[in-house]
Each structure stands twice: as C-alpha cells, then as structure tokens.
Amino acid sequence: MDKATKLQFIYDLPKVELHMHLEGSLEPELMIEIAERNGVKIPFKSADEIRKASVFDSLQSFLDLYYLGHTVFATKQDFYDLAYAYFKRVSTTNLRHAELFFEAQEHTNRGVPLQAIVTGLDEACKQAQAEFGITSNLILCLLRHFDVDNMMALLKQAVEFKHLITGIGMSSSEHDKPPALYVDVFAFAKAQGWHVSSHAGEIGPAEYVRDSIELLGIERCDHGIGARTDASVVKLLSDRKVGVTMCPISNVLLNVTESIARSPLRQFLDANVKVCLNSDDPSYFGSTYVQENYDAVEREIGLSVREWIKLAQDGIDMSWADQLRRAQLQAELDAVKAKYNVRALYGVE
C-alpha cells in the first residue's frame, strides 16, 4: 500500500474512542466564553494565553491547569455545549462511536446539580447521533483526589441517572492511591450493573494494573503503561481480555513515555492484548483528537495493515455499545476490509 493509500485507509477505519475526558476537550475559546457567561474568574484573558499555559512536564502539572478549567462549568447548557463541540469536531474524522468520561465530582462538589451535568451531556449525545451518526455512552469518572466517602456519595446519587450512564471510571493521579483503597467503590458500581474501567499504570506501577484487575474487576485498563515492566501483568491483561485504552500523544506530552515509538503499544499488540487508540484530553494537548493520535502512531511506528485492523477490531470488541451497534460497527469495518482487499493482499481474515 503506498503512503497516501495507507493514510486514507487509516482515515477510513471506523473509529471508536473509549478514553476521552469531556472536560479535556474544552477548547480555550469555549473556556473563555463559558467563564464569561457564568461570571467565573480564571487567570487567563484570552484563548492564546490558555494555549501558552498548556505546556506540561508531568501529569500533575497538567492536572493543575485541567481542574482549573473545570471551574467554569455551572449550567446544563455548559455541558451540552462542551459535548456538542467535541462531537462536531470529531465528526470530520470518521469517529463512529465514543465512550466519554465526565468528572462530575469536580462540579457537584462546587454545588452544580448532577442532573444538569448528566442531562446536558445526554442531550448532546442524542443530537450527535441524529446529526453526525456518532453513537456514544457516558462514563462517570471518579477522581482519586477526593476521598472514598465523596466517591460513594456521588455514586449513590448517580443511581437515579443509571439509564443515562453506562459505566464508572476512575482517574486523576495514582500517586499514593493504590487500587486496594477502592474495592468497596467498585463493588458498589458493579452491583448497580455498571461497566467499570480505571486509569491504572499511567504513573503507577505494574502492580497497580494487576490489582485493578484482580481487586477492582476492571473490564478495561486506561493507559496501562506500567504493565510493560512485568510480563506476567501483560499476560494477565491478555488472558483476562482486559483491553488497554492507550493515549499515545497524551503519554508523550505528560512525560509518561519518552516517545510514541518507545510506548508499549507494540509489546501489547505482540502479546495479543486488546488495544485501542484515544485522545485523552485533546484540547489541552494542542487540539490532538483521535485522528491525530492514529496519524502520530503511523508516522512514528508505522503499523502494518493487519495491526491497524486489529486496533479497529479491538476498539469494537472493547466497547460497551449494545449488540446492535456493535454489529453495525463490525459491518463498517468489514466494508473497509473489503474495500482495501485485505484478505487477498495481506492475508487478514
């Protein structure tokens, strides 16, 4: 496949994004606009100033700016606008299905009603399906910098909106926050019938990935980089079919990996771990959305056609979409396989 055809092929893959924080898609212009309309003071006068401040040397340096961005949100309209802007942006990149984290605790702890958050986001999801044909699920993402009681209180409140929330995730810094602290929280979430994932092995060690699987019962591991130092944890991911939602650009910009080429993506592919590519917090990382992550991986690692198809397939398999939607996504992937004749030319079934 020549270079131009390969890029078109990568573009054509029906993309599934499973690791994207909606608050991380708040573009600087929208941050300024929402802050102004809500009368919230932020230490930036312009979108350019926010862009200039978006240079990080660690996860924590990013989180400090990122959570400041959360403070502008107050109303249902704000959450609608946030999610709608994301969908509009990715609608040009053949994104077909997204499972989106939202970080309610940062907002409810400031007095924003959970109902405003969830219904604003849900209305944008419905609009995106009607207007762009993109389906989506919402994942309530718990935040490790709040205590377990605060997490539990929010989860109990969220039960009322169970029909609008597909899963529970957990993010923020793993520093000094081992998975064992969250056994009851995840047990409660699973008892409600929610799917569960967790950020694990971003800055935490392989042991945190293992414990998130064995103690918390996660179905997907967000980042999972730490697993690379322990072959038995990589094998556990593969054996238990816990897919890893990787975020190649995020990992480089937050100094989690030295480069995309040195990320464990190849190691995971070779070990038959399910993997998909995601944008994490696209607006804070120079507006690098899911397509930019696909392109960066091709530029810096250059995956084979077989590997690209595995990534697209894994994304579908790892998703929490219902059976009908998964069948539709599968048909779209099969159509791309047929278009590029991958069976005859590359031996891909």
Residues in 177-216 at the binding interface with ligand ADE, rule: CB under 6 A: 199, 202
Site for ligand ADE in 274-293 (CB under 6 A): 280-281
Residue 219 interacts with, from ligand ADE, Zn ion, none (CB under 5-8 Å by kind): none
Nearer to ligand ADE, 147 or 160 (CB): 147
Q: Which one among 99, 280, 307, 332 touches Zn ion, defined by CB under 5 A?
A: 280
Phi, psi angle pair for 127, to nearest 5° = -60, -40
**φ/ψ of residue 98, rounded to 5:** -135, 140
Q: Which of 27, 202, 219, 307 is catalytic?
A: 202
Q: Which are the contacts of 210, defined by CB distance < 8 A and separation ≥ 6?
A: 230, 232, 233, 236
Counting beta carbons within 10 angstroms of the beta carbon of residue 82, is it exposed (0 to 12), middle (13 to 18) or buried (19 or more)? buried
Give the span between the Cα atoms of 63 and 61, in whole angstroms. 6
Burial of 265 (0-12, 13-18, 19+ CB in 10 A): buried
- CA-angle at 63, arms to 155 and 161, nearest 5°: 20
Question: Are the C-beta atoms of residues 296 and 260 closer than 8 Å to each other?
Answer: yes
132/178 with CB nearer ligand ADE: 178
211 binds Zn ion (CB under 5 A): no
Please choose which of Zn ion, ligand ADE, none residue 251 contacts, taking the beta carbon within 5 to 8 angstroms, the exact cut-off set by kind. none
How far, in whole angstroms, is CA 311 from its chain's centroid? 15
Would residue 349 show up in a list of annotated catalytic residues for this protein?
A: no
Residue 26: CB minimum distance to ligand ADE, A: 11
The listed partner (ligand ADE, Zn ion, none) that binds 210, CB under 5 to 8 Å by sort, is none
Q: Which does 134 bind (CB under 5 to 8 A by kind): Zn ion, ligand ADE, none?
A: none
DSSP string, 220-245: EEEE-GGGGG-HHHHHHHHHTT-EEE
Order the strands of the 135-143 sheet from edge to edge: 15-21, 95-102, 135-143, 167-171, 195-200, 220-223, 243-246, 275-277
Closer residue to Zn ion (CB): 135 or 198: 198
Q: In terms of CB distance, is 10 or 143 closer to ligand ADE?
A: 143
- In this chain, which of 59, 139, 246, 269 binds ligand ADE, going by CB under 6 A? 59
Q: Cβ 222 to Zn ion, closest distance in Å?
A: 5
Residue 51 has φ and ψ, to the nearest 5°, of: -60, -40
Mapping DSSP to helix (H, G, I), strand (E, B) and coil, where does residue 68 land? helix
Q: Which is nearer to ligand ADE, 212 or 250 (CB)?
A: 250
Size of the site for ligand ADE (CB under 6 A): 10
Of positions 136, 198, 245, 250, contacts ligand ADE by CB under 6 A = 250
Q: Could you list the active site residues?
A: 202
Binding site for ligand ADE (CB under 6 A): 21, 24, 59, 171-172, 199, 202, 250, 280-281
